[in-house]
Amino acid sequence: MMYNMDMKIGIYGGTFDPIHNGHIAIAKAVKAELGLDSLIFVVAADPPHKDISGRTPALIRLKMVELALEDEDGLSVSDIEIQRGGVSYTVETLECFTRLHPGAELYFILGADMLSSFSSWYKPDKILELAKLAAVQRRGQMADIDSLASSIMSTLGGTVIATGVCGENVSSTEVRESVRDALPISGLVPYQVELFIYKNLLYAPEELKTVKTLLEERLDESRLEHSLLTAREAVMLAYKHGLNTQKARLCGLVHDCAKLRGPALESYMKRLAFKPNKDERQNTYMIHARLGALAAESEYGITDPEILNAIKLHTLGSPDMTPFDEVIFLADKLEPSREYRRIAHIRELAYENLDAAVAAVIRNNIAYNRSRKMPVHPSTFETLNAIELRAKTDTSNE
């Protein structure tokens, strides 16, 4: 965007670890209330008031802001503090923007928590010479921003606007803790940010990162991404159906740990002393399910029978699948990168009725195989009949 002399530019500084829906709603509301021509998120390299060493690298936080703002008109992101390096003093950032856009009117946006500590920032009087402050409230932590604004103006001068904007009660800490605890974050961050967090296993416990490192050694990039997204879908489905989300996430992540081909599969089977049965020898795509359960136990140290069983059943299913088995089966078939006819409908169904969704996936698979003149494994029909019957019973009991 071209900047004119008399433009009003909002500067929204933050650590954004990660950016959340509250930040975006605030930016839009402040922009509208103050009639700003543009609003720039500035990602801090090293915020002066927080020790973020060992946390998410600045370029990753920047990437998440870029993803979040992809479709947002009038909102953009700057890497000025990252380029500058060192401690991200706001005064230096505002000096840069003043040089870049001489004559523009700058507004620095900040939450009430930041406003209350503003007097102790580096060169606060200089900040107020360079920009007006625009303070926003935060639901659940309401502060008297009118008094704070008056007191700053009387001691330091400048202009502090107590806007009428109030951010939702959401925080980056809540997002990080929710991911750590395997709770859904879909309402907290934009969809693309959510997928990025899962694909990169950000904020996840160390044990999972160890699992990812092992998977990286075995699986190609797209299989690994599928596994990470299956973990995401498994969390969402398990949460919706009242099941253990931590177990579902781990199971989703490792479900394809033995999905190898050709010589790599042969040597993996040999290494784990796995003997394929007749069926598996004829349909080699089936091997990874039982082999995966064996690998999960011997290589990844997973002993939970519920997880091991769900890995075993995730390809073909079985007539007596438990809800946990169904969650993993469905997460594998419905994760966000999957695309096929009717997937949107089946996804919706999966959040209402697991049996009905499993039956729909199986019917879909049968139709697909038939259309390509590929055989359908005989057990599929037995499973479909049993699950369809259960789905009908579920609906008639509602």
Binding footprint of ligand DND on the chain (CB under 6 A)? 13-16, 22-23, 26, 44, 47-50, 88-91, 110-111, 113-114, 121-122, 136, 138, 167-168, 170-172
User: Between 142 and 344, whose beta carbon lies closer to ligand DND?
Assistant: 142
Strands 75-78 and 38-43: parallel
Pair 355, 387: CB distance under 8 Å: yes
Q: How far is the CB of 159 from ligand DND (least distance, A)?
A: 17
Q: Would you tell me how many other CB atoms lie within 10 Å of the CB of residue 108?
A: 25
User: Between 14 and 252, whose beta carbon lies closer to ligand DND?
Assistant: 14
State the DSSP H helix or E strand holding residue 38, giving kind and residue range, or none if neither: strand 38-43
Tokens 């008399």 sit at which residue? 6
User: Between 79 and 225, whose beta carbon lies closer to ligand DND?
Assistant: 79
User: Between 113 and 348, whose beta carbon lies closer to ligand DND?
Assistant: 113
User: Between 104 and 136, whose beta carbon lies closer to ligand DND?
Assistant: 136
Q: How far is the CB of 63 from ligand DND (least distance, A)?
A: 15
Q: How far is the CB of 120 from ligand DND (least distance, A)?
A: 8
Q: How far is the CB of 106 from ligand DND (least distance, A)?
A: 13
Pair 79, 62: CB distance under 8 Å: yes
Q: Would you tell me how many other CB atoms lie within 10 Å of the CB of residue 143?
A: 16
User: Between 169 and 267, whose beta carbon lies closer to ligand DND?
Assistant: 169
Q: How far is the CB of 56 from ligand DND (least distance, A)?
A: 11
Q: How far is the CB of 187 from ligand DND (least distance, A)?
A: 13
User: Between 91 and 257, whose beta carbon lies closer to ligand DND?
Assistant: 91
The one-letter amino acid code at 130 reads L
Q: How far is the CB of 22 from ligand DND (least distance, A)?
A: 3
Q: How far is the CB of 90 from ligand DND (least distance, A)?
A: 4
User: Between 188 and 302, whose beta carbon lies closer to ligand DND?
Assistant: 188
Please count the CA atoms within 13 angstroms of the CA of 243 that sit on its side-chain side. Answer: 22
Give the pair of three-digit tokens for residue 104: 């523009």
Pair 340, 364: CB distance under 8 Å: yes
DSSP state of 119: G
Tally of residues, the chain: 398
Return d(Cα 46, Cα 352) in angstroms, integer: 44
User: Between 121 and 351, whose beta carbon lies closer to ligand DND?
Assistant: 121
Pair 255, 314: CB distance under 8 Å: yes
Q: How far is the CB of 96 from ligand DND (least distance, A)?
A: 13
Give the pair of three-digit tokens for residue 27: 């930016």
Return d(Cα 320, Cα 387) in angstroms, integer: 8
Tell me the CA distances in angstroms from 263 to 14, 260, 352, one per residue in order.
50, 9, 42
Pair 1, 100: CB distance under 8 Å: no
Please count the CA atoms within 13 angstroms of the CA of 229 that sit on its side-chain side. Answer: 18
